[in-house]
Structure 1
Amino acid sequence: MKKIVTAAALLWLAGCEADTGAQPDGSPAAVAVRPNGLPITDRTIMLRIPMVKQPYFNDLDDMITLKRLEQKTNIDIEWKQIPVEGFKDRINLMLASGELPDAFFYGLGSQDVVKYGSQGTLIPLEDLIERYAPNISRIFDEYPQVRRTATAPDGHIYSLPWFKDQDFFEYRNTFLINQTWLDTLGLRMPETTEQFYDVLKAFKERDPNGNGAADEIPATFRYNVTTNGYYELFGAFGVIDAVSYLYVQDRQVKFEATGERYKEAIRFLHRLYAEGLLDPETFTQDTKQLLSKTKNDVPIVGVLASFNGTFELDWDRLKTYVPMPPLQGPHGDRVWRRQDNRIIPNYFSITSANRYPEATMRLVDVMNEPKSVLEFQQGPFGTHLKEREDGKIEVLYPPPGTDIVYWIGSVTPSTTLPLMISKEWMSKVIPHETDQLREQFYRVYKPYIAKEEETYPSIYLTAEQNKRVSILGADINKYVRQMEAKWIVQGGVDADWDDYVAELNRMGLGELMRIRQKAYDQFYGYGSK
């Protein structure tokens, strides 16, 4: 969009800091950047930024939150909107070719950030944050773990994370069980792995949906994914994390998939599969196939894993399901996998091609002003949010028949921005119905979520460490996943075990764990042992 700079807009220039100066080679004339207040610059500048075009997004140029941001900051953004399919390839091409945008919102991996940060393609942000980003600085001061997570091994910050201090983001999956089926069959909520087996067997054999057909699927999951996965079941056998396979004991990083408790969990899952209690399509189905079962006209699913159930089940059907508490295993273990999504790295970086890095940092900080951050998360006040007389902020519901994800995505690209929301501001918001539901589920799992000190954190590795981990880790994880699927479907974990462990060692598991340990020690400032 084009804007006219009035004389009034120049009155504050004495309080601005010069960003760039006119150069003999004809580069742009000086742009004054205001360290606080609005607009950010004395004249309109243009930034070129790629953005993933999610299916639920409107055109970014039509989003009211972004249009208002440009108007009040004096910064026009030329969005390069790229569909989800192929987005990562396009980003990789930009980085490899040197045809750089001014910044990246979302889309870079941790390996990208370290590699291109150390090469100078991405610039350090910490000084810009200190001088031009009081809102982000406040979050870093209040939550040192956010700053630590954003800091690369060389001490620089090359990318800002997404952060929301909401407790229910400490875990990912809720296991939902059909309470109507339990009531129909006169069954109690299972509390142990053996009771769970008995319940699934009853779901399979006793026609809980009452249609006279043997069409019930006792439990359905998806393989090799976090949401909808079955990996939380491993916690009943004392496994801390069956997704990353990493856990920490007395500051020592260990590998789950070579331990006896992992093997015992595999035996249990094979027992369920062999008796038809796990969906036989668990290892092949995609999201569409899963939804065809959970949303079938006649209820046919007894147990599923979900973030909050609203995606997999419609609201009416969701009322017939309840969260199943973590199961207690044969040795008394009762652990629920921690997946702490309160901090997600790599949501904003500035490139070396950017002529206005100070203004760009201020732009992102303006997004994170207390009320602005809520508007960029939920949508504007008036249509999506309402401030009440008591100071509380109410999240408004979409029009009837409108999905809330599309309702928000029509006005803000909330899932792709480096938004940082403190507990103080979260406490002002009256939760939406979906958040209330998630909070109820969280209370069921909270006592059993693996401790933070037992969980391997999200860590930036050095370029050399990344190089080795990308080789060793990919091959090792692929092999473990393949064997896991084989054993659950076919059995044979005990017969194959010694050869399996030997193969992992041959593949470099020892070296991989030494790298993980060193990175862990560096992250927390521990001396290597």
Structure 2
Amino acid sequence: MKRKNLGTKLVAAGLTAALLLTGCGGNSSSGQATGSTGEGTTQSAGEEERPTITVAVSMNEKGEYSDANYAIKYIEDNTGVNIEFVQLPSEKADADTKLNLMLSSGEYPDVICYGMNKQKMVKFAKEGIFVPINDYIDKYGDNMKRLFEARPQYEQLSYAPDGNIYGFVTANECYHCQAYPKLWYNTEWLEALGLEEPQTTEELKEVLLAVKNSDYNGNGKADEIPLTGSKDWDCQLEWYLLNSFVPVDKDTLSHVEDGKVVFSCNTEEFKQGLAYLNELYTLGLIDPTCFTQTSDQMQQVIRSDKNLVFGYTADHFAMGIDLDDAHLNEVTAAMIPAEGPNGARWQLHKDYVDMTDGFSWFITDKCENVEAAFKVGDFLMGDESSMVQMYGEEGNYWGKLDTPTESILQGTEAIYWIKPGFTSNEDDAYQKNTFWSGLMNQLAEFRASMSPRPEDMYVSDSYEARLFDETAKVVPYFYPEYLPKNLFLEDDTDSETFTTIQTSLREYVKTSIAQFATGEMSVEKDWDSYLKALEKYDVETYVSLYQKAYDVYAAQQ
């Protein structure tokens, strides 16, 4: 058969251009591509002939890509389809080059199991390389339809402009990552002051003043730091505080209101937020270094004296305190957002749709049995299939609990156990019996089903459970309408223009916030000049393009 030598033909063709694609699955590096049945659909004696599909995948050098791999044999036996693998290298740049070679030469397999963004997916669909799968979803897509029902935003994201779906959207959800940053504070310190968690921005200011004058560390100096943050990761204090005035984040600089994209950083509410930042800064309630220090430097300050810093913004609280200090772990908590003078009270929010790795499992026009290829892809999204892909045979690294129990995600149950302590990269048996396709069920609820709630919440091993609990406090303050950060613009010129404007705007607004907060610029005197400068960055075009992309996304609801 032609398929027998497909991998060799593709290597021989050679091409230097690389695609802007993202890797598929998890562990991947170079390995040997071996088909599970060798000669196409040839079967052992007495075995009913079943179809074979060829699949390009980035390979793990320690892995096994034949039916000697328990996970691959499990997939084949449960779908009735044999899989013959075509190697993509482990290094992304090399894999991009080889994939470009395949697609440009016309010598490519039935399925591309390799992650890519929507722009690339639509490009290859327009070229006729990827085939639409809408009809197959309707007939055979039990797991994909289940995903779309649980997360309608993934279905919205999946449609190309022509109304077709050309790839399997990949979920990679992290429950606590939805709320970055949180404001982490010392509850014991607050109790020692006889105060309660602040509910408004004015109450927050009063709490911070009390902190500043408390001499909590007992050294006789007013050196306590009420609030700090850092410039990297999602640790920026300023964006957290501004959400008590207007919904805004450092990526979009905008929000959506009644379906309309609104640029947040030229509004009267934004101006009020800047004035509040300046007031706190002038009163000595914001650490002057928070606009310039790194998260590592912030952590060093916080850990230098556990009674020095009252509150800090960070993705998770171990970016500040030492988790091995069980008592400090117990008294550290996330503060709910304070309500501003206009009623704004938002927690910075990143929806699951912005955590996706994009798309994978693209069925090409070379595939003679699209139904079989689709069924395999959909099967890979199932619960038990996901466990086998990630952990191999049941009973070795995973299994089912005798009795379901409370999980770390409120309202869900844990039904699986995972072998504690093993490190997959050091376990050859694990490597040779798993297959990280990238299509596994990675919804937050399913991931929590592998994590029973621990008895002791204040040891380092219980860290994720603590993060889940603290996140649950702030979820009610998520934006009522969410503006995705990574929307699709079909026209390449529009996409390039949008990216260029956004990059410039982000830098200008970030710098201006710090200048307004520290008093280098005056909210009263320099606001108009700030607005005029914004106009030069073409905010109008930015909003117009964002609206265009959002309308396409929202139209799929």
TM-based fold match above 0.5:
yes
* Counterparts of 1:201 and 1:99, CA distance in 2: 63
Q: Aligned to 1:387, which of 375, 380, 400?
A: 400
Correspondence 1:171 to 2:175: no
* Counterparts of 2:305 and 2:186, CA distance in 1: 15
Residues 482 and 366 of structure 1: CA distance in aligned 2, closer, same or farther (over 3 Å): same
CA offset at residue 261 of structure 1?
0.7
Q: Aligned to 2:268, which of 237, 260, 263?
A: 260
Alignment-derived partner of residue 386 in structure 2: 373
Residues 7 and 77 of structure 1: CA distance in aligned 2, closer, same or farther (over 3 Å): closer
Residues 3 and 522 of structure 1: CA distance in aligned 2, closer, same or farther (over 3 Å): closer
Q: Aligned to 2:296, which of 277, 288, 293?
A: 288
Q: Contact 1:246–1:456 at 8 Å: present in 2 too?
A: no
Could you state the TM-score of these two structures normalised by the residue count of structure 2? Answer: 0.71
Q: Contact 1:47–1:78 at 8 Å: present in 2 too?
A: yes
Alignment-derived partner of residue 461 in structure 1: 489
* Counterparts of 1:293 and 1:415, CA distance in 2: 40
* Counterparts of 2:463 and 2:68, CA distance in 1: 25
Q: Aligned to 2:72, which of 43, 64, 70?
A: 70
Alignment-derived partner of residue 12 in structure 1: 48
Q: Aligned to 2:532, which of 502, 505, 515?
A: 502
Alignment-derived partner of residue 27 in structure 1: none
Pairing 1:34-73 to 2, within 5 Å after superposition: 47-49=56-58, 61=63, 67-72=69-74, 73=76
Q: Look up the SS of the partner of 1:203 in the other structure.
A: helix
* Counterparts of 2:318 and 2:395, CA distance in 1: 25
Residues 70 and 257 of structure 1: CA distance in aligned 2, closer, same or farther (over 3 Å): same
CA offset at residue 327 of structure 1?
0.4
Alignment-derived partner of residue 80 in structure 1: 89
Q: Aligned to 1:327, which of 338, 352, 359?
A: 338
Pairing 1:25-424 to 2, within 5 Å after superposition: 32-33=51-52, 47-49=56-58, 61=63, 67-72=69-74, 73=76, 74-76=83-85, 78=87, 80-82=89-91, 103=112, 105-106=114-115, 108-115=116-123, 117-119=125-127, 124=132, 126=134, 134-140=142-148, 143-163=151-171, 170-210=178-218, 216-223=224-231, 225-226=233-234, 230-241=238-249, 243-296=251-304, 298=306, 300-310=308-318, 312-313=320-321, 314-315=323-324, 316=326, 317-341=328-352, 344-349=355-360, 364-374=377-387, 381-382=394-395, 385-390=398-403, 393-396=415-418, 398-399=420-421, 417-421=438-442
Residues 176 and 427 of structure 1: CA distance in aligned 2, closer, same or farther (over 3 Å): closer
* Counterparts of 2:524 and 2:182, CA distance in 1: 30
Q: Which moved more, 1:65-74 or 1:384-393?
A: 65-74
Residues 406 and 173 of structure 1: CA distance in aligned 2, closer, same or farther (over 3 Å): farther
User: 1:157-211 CA deviation, whole Å, 9 max, x = no partner?
Assistant: 3443333788766533322111232234443322222232233334344332345
Alignment-derived partner of residue 517 in structure 2: 488
* Counterparts of 1:218 and 1:158, CA distance in 2: 51
Q: Aligned to 2:470, which of 432, 438, 441?
A: 441
Q: Contact 1:123–1:352 at 8 Å: present in 2 too?
A: yes
User: 1:62-100 CA deviation, whole Å, 9 max, x = no partner?
Assistant: 89x995433444444646333xxxx5x667766777788
* Counterparts of 1:396 and 1:474, CA distance in 2: 42
Alignment-derived partner of residue 513 in structure 1: 543
* Counterparts of 1:10 and 1:424, CA distance in 2: 42
Question: What is the percentage of aligned positions where both structures have the same residue?
Answer: 22
Q: Contact 2:224–2:308 at 8 Å: present in 1 too?
A: yes
Q: Look up the SS of the partner of 1:145 in the other structure.
A: helix
Q: For residue 146 of structure 2, what is the amino acid of its counterpart?
A: R
* Counterparts of 2:416 and 2:451, CA distance in 1: 5
* Counterparts of 1:260 and 1:524, CA distance in 2: 27
CA offset at residue 260 of structure 1?
0.8
Residues 4 and 507 of structure 1: CA distance in aligned 2, closer, same or farther (over 3 Å): closer
* Counterparts of 2:272 and 2:296, CA distance in 1: 31
Residues 483 and 228 of structure 1: CA distance in aligned 2, closer, same or farther (over 3 Å): closer
* Counterparts of 1:9 and 1:311, CA distance in 2: 60
* Counterparts of 2:393 and 2:297, CA distance in 1: 36
User: 1:221-258 CA deviation, whole Å, 9 max, x = no partner?
Assistant: 23364356542322211335454122222222211001
* Counterparts of 2:513 and 2:100, CA distance in 1: 36
Q: Which moved more, 1:228-237 or 1:289-298?
A: 289-298
Q: For residue 483 of structure 1, what is the amino acid of its counterpart?
A: S
Residues 507 and 208 of structure 1: CA distance in aligned 2, closer, same or farther (over 3 Å): same
User: 1:401-421 CA deviation, whole Å, 9 max, x = no partner?
Assistant: x899999xx979999934335
Structure 1: 5+ residue runs without aligned partners? 17-31, 34-40, 52-58
Q: Contact 1:185–1:208 at 8 Å: present in 2 too?
A: no
Q: Contact 1:163–1:343 at 8 Å: present in 2 too?
A: no
Q: For residue 12 of structure 1, what is the amino acid of its counterpart?
A: E
CA offset at residue 325 of structure 1?
1.3
Could you state the TM-score of these two structures normalised by the residue count of structure 1? Answer: 0.74
* Counterparts of 2:302 and 2:377, CA distance in 1: 40
Q: Contact 1:190–1:196 at 8 Å: present in 2 too?
A: yes
* Counterparts of 2:389 and 2:220, CA distance in 1: 50
Residues 214 and 288 of structure 1: CA distance in aligned 2, closer, same or farther (over 3 Å): same
Structure 2: 5+ residue runs without aligned partners? 1-31, 77-82, 405-413, 454-461
